[in-house]
Amino acid sequence: MIPQVYNDRMNFLAHLLLAGDDDGLRLGAMLGDFVKGRRALDLYPQSVRLGIELHRYIDQHFDTLPDVAMLKKHFPAPFRRYSGIMIDLAYDHELAVRWEQYSSQPLEEFDRDVRLLLAEHDRLLPEGLRSFMSYADRRGLFAAYRENSEILLSLRGLGSRLSRPNPLNRAGEIWPELSPYFDASFKFVFLQVQSDVSNWLKSRSTTTGS
């Protein structure tokens, strides 16, 4: 089972890649699901705070994209209520499968570097993130996201810790039907998000004067 975290968005791979090569942004990309509220940001250095804010921006902006809204319409009831969770992980799967198109660094090396970064800044990590990374180490994440079976296992784990009854443990029943839609929409959505993230970072740089 996936350890408890603050919310149900688990698309870490996409967040990490969108953070670019900056260590502070990458660290914030991992912390974003575990740090709530504005006051909590004061605990972190400026570059990490920016990474956490970027993570929040991506989550909020992603849900407003027309292609994502259209994709959600393909989900049958009762899965549609949980379509956001499923799309997040489906897109991490699509990114892992296409990794060489988006990064010159092999995914396994990228995976290793993320762990080295977290180890270097262990004092900043909340227990929830340490717990998740322990789970990730056992499962071979993030490289294992190439496998549909790993995504379905993650969805079952997420479903088991939600407070209300949900169908995520049965996601495998509709995954073959939805996979072509994930495949077809990913490159357009990810390209849009990459562009929007670049513009967001430029606007923040202008605002802060950095």
- Tell me: the pLDDT tens digits for 85-98? 999 999 999 999 99
Position 122, amino acid: D
169-194 pLDDT per residue, tens:
999 999 999 999 999 999 999 999 99
Per-residue pLDDT of 121-131, as tens digits, reads: 999 999 999 99
* Tokens 């660094």 belong to residue: 105
Q: Does residue 209 carry a pLDDT above 90?
A: no
Please name which of 52, 63, 62 lies closest in space to residue 22, comparing C-alpha atoms: 52
Report yes or no on whether pTM surpasses 0.85.
yes
Q: Which letter does DSSP use for residue 54 in this model?
A: H
Which secondary structure element, helix H or strand E, spans residue 200, and what is its range?
Answer: helix 175-208
Instruction: Give me 99's structure tokens.
Output: 């990794």
